[in-house]
Every structure is written in structure tokens, then in C-alpha cells.
Chain A
Amino acid sequence: MKYLKRNIRSALIVLLGLFVILTVYFYYNLFLYSDRWFSDPNNTRVKVDMTNPSIIPGSISDRNGKVLVETRSYKNDNGALTYYRSYHKDSRYAAHVIGSKKYGIGAEALYVRYLLGYDNNLFERIYQKAFLDQEVGNDVILTIDMRLQKFISQAMGKSKGSVVLMNPNSGEILALVSQPSFNPSADNEDPADESLLNKASYGRFTPGSIMKVITAAAALESMENLNDYVVECKGSTEINGFIIKCYDGEAHGQVNLSRAMEVSCNAYFAQLSLDVGWKQLKKTAEKFGFNKDFLFSDIKTSKSELPINHKTDAEELAWSGIGQGKVLVTPLHMALVASAIANKGIMPEPRLIYGIQPRSGKIRLQGHSKLADATTPEIAQTLTNMMVNVVENGTGSRARTKGMLIAGKTGTAEVGSDKNPHAWFIGFAPADHPTLAIAVILENSGTGGSKAAPLAGSILREAARLGY
């Protein structure tokens, strides 16, 4: 039995390998998810008993220092202090950002680590326990600007949808609105189900023509002589035996890439996505963040999906290339796509926490970080030029604003024959030196050019007026 020793050695290696895999899995998963697990609403370890809190949760304010939620107290009949969370009346304009502990959403739930001071160092924690009557958490300063939140909420009115406005260079989210909304301070009212959903990060919508930006990026990356690539659009075009119509059956004639983007020609992009192929389209889209589980530290989000593979037939691929079919995206992700184009191809990680204000001492600023290299600076510049053209001459012309050059792309996402389409607009401004990136979706409201573009234009104008 000479093989015994050899086999014992292999068994040892196999079992040690199992332990190594276990350890790596253990630490890797905790590294990725431990913050999420900690702040999960089901984690009763960090639930606060407001009648007799051991730690007073800190406040939440916007980037200008306007306090949105804070802990207050009053003396009850027995003379004991009773604590409660007090919401500023404007907090309903940022309901999904501020969120609610009760429903486990938004900053109130997600940032408990800071609000309860679990991020403090040992000395601070011991000092508080030893010398303060009542331990206090840290204040969270958000990146949002309440003036913009209010402006956008009011501009959206009753229409359902979402707007994400961010700084494309730092990833700071200046405004994030989701409608319908709820009132965080009205604790007793039961909000309607849909109103609790943060559509900006969890809502998944058909993108429609804004997807053409990705298709164009894929073509620019992979095809030579794209300038000579011309398609004859007759309004309704038959490709490989199926028919793709342009909006309202409008015939665009001979179109090249720039012209096709300007008029949002479906025939052109359907043909283009077939020639680009599923592999390249998927590759580019994934560089732009499709099919990725984003694990941002400040905000939870759903995954945008582009489900194409070698089994996808030509029809499905063509539909995917113009943002119909099974493609689903979140508004936050679309704002990131706009940011990446604005920021020379570099996609920033979205930020909602501007900084943490401890009990005493300076604000701890949260850093910025790069999420991915979505595309090259050259392609980003080419896309920018085309998107400027869209707003100056094309479907996005109603976003045009005096004194500011806006780059954008409209989208009109068909969602069934009996419903109005979703109106989309993504873009950034000023086009030559972008400081703002935006994604707008208005559900079932009409075309992107007529509904979303004017709203986006006015938001960008207001943000510029405020100095962003």
C-alpha cells in the first residue's frame, strides 16, 4: 500500500484548499457586504428605542447645512425625557433620500453606522460613555441641495417618475427625486406601496432611445469607417424579415451616425446593432455598468439588465440596440452613464454622503472614487458632440437653454400599445466643461423630446443659477 502516503498528502492538500477557499470567501464577502448587513432594517442590534435611547441619533442635513431630520426631546408627565425624530417640513421633497427607519429605507436606515456613532474611534466612544450624560451619534451631511430637491419636486408636479442630478466629476448627487413620494414626518399615515419605492435606484424601466448612446459607443469602439456607414430610412424599415418603425413612421432618408442620433432614427440603430453584434454591444454596455451588481457605499440600487447572449436572435438584438425588448435600466444608472460621457469616459461612484460631522471637531469628508473606465476620452468627446447636436438641432431641442450648451439624448420607451410611452432624457451641461449630469424619466407621459427634455432643461438652468 505504497500509495497511502501519497494519498494522505493529496487529502491534506484538498482539505487545506477547502479551508483556504472558506477563509477567502468569508473575508471577501464581509469586505463587500458587511456594511449592508449591519445597516439592514432586519438587524435589530442597531434598532433604536426612542423612549429610552442609549445613543441619541445624529441629525441629517443637506450640503448647505439645512437640517432635515434631528432628534428632539420633551419632558413627559413623569418628568422623564422623551425623544423623537423631528423632520423639517421640506423633508418631504427628499423623502426617498432621507428615508425612514420604520420602512428601512434611505439615509435614516442605511447610515445608522454614522447616526449612532458606530464609526467613532475607541477614545471618542469611551469619552462619551465616561463623561457624557447621554451618548450621541454623528451628524450626516448629505450631498443633496434642498433648493434643487424642492424645485424638481414642484416642477414634476403630480407626474410619476424620477430625476437624478449629479456632479459628473465627483459623483456627488445634488438631487434625487422619485415620485410618487411620501411624507417622512407623517408617521401614522400608511404610505401607498409604490410611494415608498425609490425609483431612482430601484425602479427598472425600459430605456428606449437613450440606449442608442451605448449602441453608438459600441460602434465607435469596434467599427472602422463609421463615417461611411449610412442607412436608408423609409420610416418603417424591414430588417431580416421583421419591421422596425421610426417614431410616428417618420422617414429620415439617408442617415449617418450623427444624423441618426439627432433624429433618433430607429432603423439606423437597429441595423447598426446587428452589425456591431451582441458581443461588442454587451461588452460596451457592461463597461458602462449594465448587468453589474453595484455595491455603492452610500446608496443601494437594482441592477440594470441587458440580457443578450449567443442565443439572442437578430430581432431581439435589434430591439436591444434601440433600448426596447428586455433591456431594463435604473434612472441612477442612466445618470452615471451621462456622467461617464461628461467625465471623459470615467464613471464616478455616486455619493450621497458629503461628510460626517462628529460631536466635536472637523467634518470628516467622504472621498470620491472612480467606479469604472466606461470608454475612452476620444469616444466620450465624439458622443458629446453628437449629444450637443441632439439638443441644438434634434429631438432634444426643447431642453435648449440660453447661455448654456447642453448635451443630451431623449428617449421614448414604448411600454405596451395601450399605454403612453415613458419619456426619458439624459444629458449634461455645460457641454464643454460639464459640472452637471442628469437623468429624467416621466412615466407614461409621452415622448422624451416633448416632456422630459424641457424639464431637464429647466432643472439644469436652475442648478446653474444656483452656482453648480
Chain B
Amino acid sequence: MSNKQYEILALTLRYWFVLLIIYIFAQCAAKTIRGIFSSKSVPRSTGNIPFILVLFSLTAFGLLSLQDPGGISIDTALLGVLVSAVILFQFYLLYYLFPGLDEVMLLSVDTLAVLGFIMLQRLTPELALKQVEWFAAGCAAMFLVMLAVPRIKSLGKLIYPLMAAGPAILFLVAFFGEESGGATSRIPIGPFSIQPAEFAKFIFIIVLAYSLNEEKTFRQKLPVYIFVIASVLGVVMQKDLGSALHYFIVFLFIYYISTNDLLLTIAAAGAGAIASFISYKIFAHVRVRVEAWKNPWADVGGKGWQVAQSLMAMGSGGLIGLGLGLGAPYIIPASRTDFIFAAICEEFGILVGGMVIGFYALILIRSMQKAFQARQPADMLLACGSAVSLSIQAFIIIGGVVKMIPLTGITLPFVSYGGSSMVVSLCILGIIQGISMKNEWLAHNMETEFDQDLDEMINDEGDEQR
């Protein structure tokens, strides 16, 4: 297909893509809103959303497969089919296996992931397949988390090893990790390089939920404080200040929700503010970020380059984008990871960009509902801790990309390229889905059957693996 034919196709299909995403978002939002205002629980139904999503993925990959004037790229087209198959398999397997599954949340996540795959295919085709593999691995991990979460009533003594493990991982990485992009946050394992701070995030949420789930005296809470301070310090040691901010804010939320201790929360927030100020004074790259945030145009060629490029990408995109493959999102530094939001805005338009934010809001609302319906404090904290974590992470990075707050390099959950981030984000989603299932089972007073069900399921899972 010649360049011009591709351009005509891409220009026209912009409307199609925006339409499909709007449709998916509107359906998900309508279901969520109905869920908020109706007293009875809304019977779950998938509608046609999974197929619309598959249609989106197939047309987008189909379009990208025509991009090369030399001929149709079969690999790209097949990847589109693979993505569709993975999405459909994942969705319907979980949907029919788990009656308590929140289908809207899962579809929102799948839509975000598909957007990520498409952008990745467009930016760096070699990495797209890898990302789909990570997604599949993440889904398997999520499946296990979903099975485990409803069964665990308390961590018991296991909590102390976990409390030690989290910060220990972080400190080890800080000393022995590989440096990339100013942060020492990666550890090479075989052919991969993983980002342990992401996995420590998972431990962080679990430890906080299970240690703050009952009223305790200050002395009893002391290990929690030490754990939090050590974790945050560990991330700061990696010079990964975005993650440090993320950990800290998640702690503030969970701490306030579980203890209702406004005074100490505000004191901690104040201490965090002072710490940020000190890090501003100590770390040169933090000062650079703040300056670039204040006015990226003052030094477009240098400090402001990243943010300015991101703004220019979004400004070029307009309402419905330049068209898939017609923009130049590869100009933006780190367009695969930190700046993927700007890349999406450039080629799919800012309407889709706004809906990406909307999907995170939907995930937030629905997970908070699960937390609200949960019967046990630990479950409530698990669900809302996970929700806070995903939301704050999305907020920090999108806020940085659109120049609302200083940029801190963290990934956009479910969308950015990165195996660790994808797997952990899906595991965190698994926690929420697990609580959702537990709520559903408890609501039907099937506590006795509940355990049998689980045993069966675990056996099924074992069969599958064999």
C-alpha cells in the first residue's frame, strides 16, 4: 500500500477509533453510574464491549500492518489477532469462572492495555509482542492472586518476614541495581531486567492492609512506621523519587482510612513536604524537573525538552489526533514508558486522552465500591489500598506529562511498556477482583461451599498447568 493510501486510511479511521473508545467508555461509565445509584446489585453482563474492544484492536493492528509501503506486515496483523485472542480468552475465562468478577473493571484495564499495545507496536514494533507476553504472564499472576486473596484471613506471623523483605529488596537494588534514566532501579535477571520497586509496591499494600486492620496502640504500630520509612528510604536511595512519592501518598491514604488519625496524617504529610523540599535542595535532577515544570519553554533545548515535547505532541494531536502512524510520537523522549499518554494524545487525540483518565476514574470508583462492601477491615484496606495505589500512580504520571505537577518518571499502569509494571499492576487488580469475589460469595451466604469451590478451582488451575 502506498504512503498516500495509508494516510487516507489512517485519517479516516481516526473517527472510527475515537468512536469505539467512546462507546466502550460510555458503556462502562453507564454501568458504573447505575451501580452507584441503584440499591440492588446490578446483574452483571458483558454486553458487546469485549467484541468492540477486539474490533478496535483488530482494526488498529490491521491499519499498522499496512504502514510499510513494501507490503502487508503479516507479523503485525497476527499480533492484532493474538491480542484479540488473549483479551477474549482472559476475559471470558475469568468471567465464567468467577461469579464475583467485576467485569467493568477488567474491561477498563483491557482497553488501557490494548491502547498500550497499539502505541507500542507503532513506536517500537519489536517490543509489542514482548509486552503482550508480559500481559499474559500478568494475567496468570492476577489469576493466582484472585484465588488466594479470598482465602487469606490473616497473614499471621508471615507479616514480619514480608515487612523485612520489602525494604530489603529495595535497598539491595539501590546498591546493586543497574542505572537507567537517572535512577538505579533495575536488576538484570537472565534475559530480563526487572524493577523490584514495582514488586515491593505489592508487598507494601498487603503489609499495610494486614497490619493496620485493627486498632493498635502507638507502640504496636511502631513496626509499621519503621516499615514505611524504610520502604520510602529504599526507593529514595534508588533515586526513583516518583515511586517514593507514590509509596508515601499510598501510605498516607491507608493510614488515615484505617486509623482515622488526622493529626498524625497531616504531620506525616508535612514531614513528606519537608523531605521533598530537602530532596529538591540535594538532588540536582529534582531541581531540573521543577524548573522544567515551571516553564519548559525557558530552556526548550535542554531541561524543558521532555515536557515541551510532550506538550507539543498533545497540541499537535487536537481533538481526534493526527491519525495512527501519521504523527511523530517517537520524538518525545521515553514515549514508550513515561510519556505514553502524550503519544496516545498525539495520534488518537485528546478525546481519547481524556477517556484514558476516565478509565482510571472508573477503576477507582468500582474498587472503592468493593472496599465499601467488604465485611472485614483487612479486605476493605486491601481493596482501597490497591485502588489508591493505581489511581495515584496514574495521577502522578499523567499530571507530570500534562505539566500540572513536576514530572517524576513512573509508569502509567497497564499502558506503559515494562514487564514488572504490567505484572504488578495486574496483581494489584487481582487483589481488588479477589475482594470482589469474596464479597459476592459472602453476600450469598455460601461460606461453606466457598472453600470447596476454591479447592476445586485450584485443582482446575493445576490441571491446566499440566
Contact = CB atoms under 8 A, between A and B. Distances in A.
B27 interface: no
B4 A42 contact: no
A22 B398 contact: yes
Given A30-B314, A38-B316, A7 B260 contact: yes
B137 interface: no
Interface SS majority for chain A: helix
Contacts of B318: 34, 38
Given A7-B260, A25-B404, A26-B353, A19 B361 contact: yes
Contact of A29 (B253, B257, B402): B402
A12 interface: yes
A4 interface: yes
B82 interface: no
Contacts of A35: 315
Nearest to A3: B260
Given A8-B257, A130-B8, A33 B377 contact: no
Contact of A34 (B315, B360, B364, B398): B315
Interface in A1-46: 1, 3-5, 7-9, 11-12, 15-16, 18-19, 21-23, 25-27, 29-30, 33-38, 40, 42-46
Nearest to B320: A122
B214 interface: yes
B436 to A, nearest CB: 15
Contacts of B328: 44-45
Contacts of A34: 314-315, 318
B403 interface: yes
Contacts of A19: 357, 360-361, 364, 391, 395
A33 B358 CA distance: 22
Interface string A138-153: 0000000000000000
Interface residues of A, number: 38
Given A22-B395, A130-B8, A33 B311 contact: yes
A63 interface: no
A261 B234 CA distance: 69
B402 A26 contact: yes
Contacts of A29: 402-403
A45 B327 contact: yes
Interface string A167-181: 000000000000000
Contacts of B402: 22, 25-26, 29
Interface string B271-310: 0000000000000000000000000000011000000110
Contacts of A130: 4, 8
Contact of A129 (B8, B316, B377): B8
A22 B357 contact: yes
Contact of B12 (A1, A40, A126): A126
A1 B364 contact: no
A129 B7 contact: yes
Given A9-B368, A23-B357, A129-B7, 6 more contacts: A4-B258, A19-B361, A29-B403, A30-B350, A43-B315, A46-B316
Interface of B: 4, 7-8, 11-12, 15, 214-215, 253, 256-258, 260, 300-301, 308-309, 311-316, 318, 322, 327-328, 331, 350, 353-354, 357-358, 360-361, 364-365, 368, 371-372, 377, 380-381, 384, 387-388, 391-392, 395, 398-399, 402-404
